[in-house]
Structure 1
Amino acid sequence: MVKMASAHALAGAAALMLWITGAGYTQEPAAPAQSPAPADAAAGTAAAQTVKLGYLRSWEPTLALSALDIPPEDIGVAGAEVAVADNNTTGSFMGQTFTMDVVTLTPGDDVAGPAQTMLDSGVRYIVTDLTGEDTLKVAELAAATDAMVLNAGSTDDDLRGERCRPNMLHTAPSRAMLTDGLAQYLMWKQWRDWALVAGSHPDDQKFAEALKRSATKFGGKIVAEKLFADKGGARATDSGQALVQRQIPVFLQDLPDHDVLLVADESEVFGTYVPWRTWVPRPVAGTAGLTPGSWHPASEQWGGAQIQNRFEDASGRRMESKDMQAWTAVRVIGEAASRTQSVDPATIAAFVKSPDFAVAAFKGQRLTFRDWNWQMRQPVLLGTEASVVSASPQEGFLHQVSELDTLGVDRPETTCDLGG
């Protein structure tokens, strides 16, 4: 009879397998936990212990100014499913099994019912791709059962600020992180004078405010601002394109001299039409042109080719930012379960929030959570439609704790109160 390996050895084997298959950063894997909970000591000899996750999102088919920008129906979900498979590969060493229930709502649907159903079924980890308001609702419901919500969708800064919650963690970057990453690159290039054109919808204005905050933070200068009001119309038709092609240059004609034109158009009303239609030849950045994100379909550095290939085999397309954010959220739970050799929700939550926790996500360094607002530290990739141009933090932007903390709201300026 073959002697069963110890839980400690199994955890080490699982860590080694993650390392071999492409952990995504250059540091050596962390040592497994030294003192597993007694209740989990026989994980390798008993039936598989199940970790139940939920994925709650809002989605409907949407139009975009470019057909290439229409989000695929499985956006985010595909990344989470690959991560569940990765968790199960690692978990097989310790008798851990991961499952995920996916619920897709139509925008405007009430999230309370589906979220409560997940919680009542024993789900203690809910990955969300929802509006900021709905993400907060789910977190408040989940608090009653000490469940954890991993926000993989909303970039709203106030979810990391005055509306933060102790059980709400963020693998999606905040808008402040995205615009800080862009601003660092523009300052590194010494393109210091920026003109700003923003859409009229609330999310457009939030992105514009984040850009202005980043300009103040890093020394950029907003030399002019313009508002592009959404008046409706058939923007995606041939006549709509022809009309915008005539409108955009004239609309931008009176801007003062500037190095870069910044666009804040999360609502996809006009931004895609701005590059190559400006009055004067200037680079475009923001939500069009050079755009910041947590990931890019062309990213293949730091082992990225490995996750891209696995993702493409599973979904038939390249990985988008929301896919990576959802993948990372699910991997957070898998990593914690393997390191603690436990499926106990309290044990996993405590480890995720501890200084010892880190997860690899093919971005060149270990990703950790900020303990003042539970935002995941992560690089910001800057890219065009076809390629990654750069990654922030940029060279020369230093920080006393982590250079990643130059992106977004730092500890001294946070408005988040986690209650202790």
Structure 2
Amino acid sequence: MKQAALAAVLAGVALAGPGLRPAQAATLKATLIAPQDDARLERSRVQRAYLGHPTGPAADGLAVAMEEGRFELDAAGHEIALTTSEAASLEAAKAAAQAAEKAGAAVLITDLPADWTLAVADAVKLPVLNVGAADDRLRQQDCRARLYHLLPSERMRADALAQLLVSRKWSKLLLLTGTTPADQQRALTVQASLKRYGLQVVASKPFKLSADPRERDLANPLLLTGGATYDAVWVVDSDGEFARNMPYRTVLPRPVVGDGGLVAVGWHAQFERYGAPQVARRFAKAHQRPMTAQDWASWMAGKALIALATAQPAGTKAPTAAAWTQTLPKLSLDGSKGTPLSFRAWDGQLRQTLLLTDGQGVIAQAPIEGLLHPSNVLDTLGADAPEKLCKVAR
């Protein structure tokens, strides 16, 4: 949804009939900061619809949440004024955040790369809801006290797949990793998950998509998957083009997981439980496309805004940034995933179930049934409290 369209939807929230809204409605101001000319939404990439990748702007999910929360906001006597700012660089994102804070915003929502997200969090004293960056370092060594994450981390996604592999007794893995820095970093995350769940890498090989004839063997599925005995092939491919072509092309008849074949995501439009079909239908009707994990994250950011606003008694002042900071960790949110969702105290990550999908339907949910945890089974996905590297206090 373009900025003007989002503004129209939000205007509908703010301008609900006079008989429904108190005259002195309090306004909660928020700003979404998104990339200008987002490379993730380049036309050919959107048409390919890689699993785990966005196919539309974060504003779409927010708009659906705002529409759904219209009645609650009316009843509580509050409004949400949500604006969108586009940034072409890290410095532009930082400037947009500072401008939003000066204009009275109480919270920021970011759909930005990791470094840009950190720049925004460091530039203001406002809570920041991250809906675009899955990097684990934002939850670990580069965490910030007022930075919260709606999108599941890479570690959470890797843990979800590792749990399924353990439950199926597919313990021996062939690991194929791309040559980009992002792939190399994500491969380390995968290996941490494999170690956590006692899975074994029997062979690890690099792949590379290249037009150079001398490198064609680095993209040959038969050559890459030969010479080893394994129960499954795990592909680490941040781009997505290589991974999507791996299923059914391995030497041994084995499942493919990771960034192709079976993929762990925060949401899939074919999830058929806990009210999810109704959410997916509302989104598809509003935006003429299936709802993705990134859309779900921005939808949850909107739900968080509504939860805070409606928690205030009618006629009271709108929450301040300080009130947000105190209230966010206490929120219990309904994400249509079958369990209440809350933010972890040690890294600001939203606890949530993950969906394992092949693109046609949802094969399983993680945490896998039967898995145990001392306090909250959702904390088996991602860095648990004893593993935390985040040193800030929330």
TM-score by length of 2: 0.86
CA distance in 2, matches of 1:80, 1:231: 38
SS in 2 for 1:253: coil
In structure 2, the partner of 1:82 is: 64
Kindly provide the amino acid, as one letter, of the partner of residue 183 in structure 1.
A
Q: Identify the match of residue 400 of structure 1 among 374, 381, 389.
A: 374
Pair 1:412–1:378, CA change in 2 (3 A): same
Q: Identify the match of residue 269 of structure 2 among 297, 300, 304.
A: 297
In structure 2, the partner of 1:48 is: 25
Q: Is the aligned partner of 1:249 residue 2:222?
A: yes
Query: CA offset at residue 288 of structure 1?
Result: 0.5
CA distance in 2, matches of 1:314, 1:117: 30
Q: Is the aligned partner of 1:321 residue 2:293?
A: yes
Q: Superposition pairs for residues 186-225 of structure 1, below 5 Å?
A: 186-225=165-204
Kindly provide the amino acid, as one letter, of the partner of residue 246 in structure 2.
V
Q: Is the aligned partner of 1:155 residue 2:134?
A: yes
Cα contact 1:173–1:294 (8 A) shared by 2 = yes
Cα contact 2:59–2:298 (8 A) shared by 1 = yes
Q: Identify the match of residue 354 of structure 2 among 353, 360, 380.
A: 380
Kindly provide the amino acid, as one letter, of the partner of residue 81 in structure 2.
T
* Aligned-CA RMSD value: 2.5
In structure 2, the partner of 1:353 is: 329
CA distance in 2, matches of 1:292, 1:244: 28
In structure 2, the partner of 1:67 is: 48
Of residues 207-216 and 97-106 in structure 1, the stretch that sits farther from structure 2 once superposed is: 97-106
SS in 2 for 1:222: strand
Cα contact 1:65–1:269 (8 A) shared by 2 = no
CA distance in 2, matches of 1:148, 1:174: 19
CA distance in 1, matches of 2:259, 2:124: 33
Cα contact 1:179–1:210 (8 A) shared by 2 = yes
Cα contact 1:197–1:264 (8 A) shared by 2 = yes
SS in 2 for 1:285: strand
In structure 1, the partner of 2:74 is: 92
Structure 2 residues without counterparts, runs of 5 or longer: 1-19
Cα contact 2:206–2:218 (8 A) shared by 1 = no
Q: Is the aligned partner of 1:57 residue 2:34?
A: yes
In structure 1, the partner of 2:163 is: 184
CA distance in 2, matches of 1:344, 1:330: 15
CA distance in 1, matches of 2:225, 2:312: 57
Pair 1:109–1:314, CA change in 2 (3 A): farther
CA distance in 2, matches of 1:104, 1:382: 32
* Aligned length, in residue pairs: 365
Structure 1 residues without counterparts, runs of 5 or longer: 1-42, 235-242
Pair 1:72–1:154, CA change in 2 (3 A): closer
Cα contact 2:150–2:301 (8 A) shared by 1 = yes
Cα contact 1:44–1:95 (8 A) shared by 2 = yes
Cα contact 2:258–2:264 (8 A) shared by 1 = yes
CA distance in 1, matches of 2:162, 2:286: 35
Pair 1:269–1:351, CA change in 2 (3 A): same
Kindly provide the amino acid, as one letter, of the partner of residue 166 in structure 1.
A
In structure 2, the partner of 1:127 is: 109
Q: Superposition pairs for residues 231-246 of structure 1, below 5 Å?
A: 231=210
Cα contact 1:139–1:167 (8 A) shared by 2 = yes
TM-score by length of 1: 0.81
Output one character per residue of 1:286-333: Cα deviation in whole Å (capped at 9) or x when no partner: 011000011012112100111112111211122100000011012112
Pair 1:244–1:289, CA change in 2 (3 A): farther
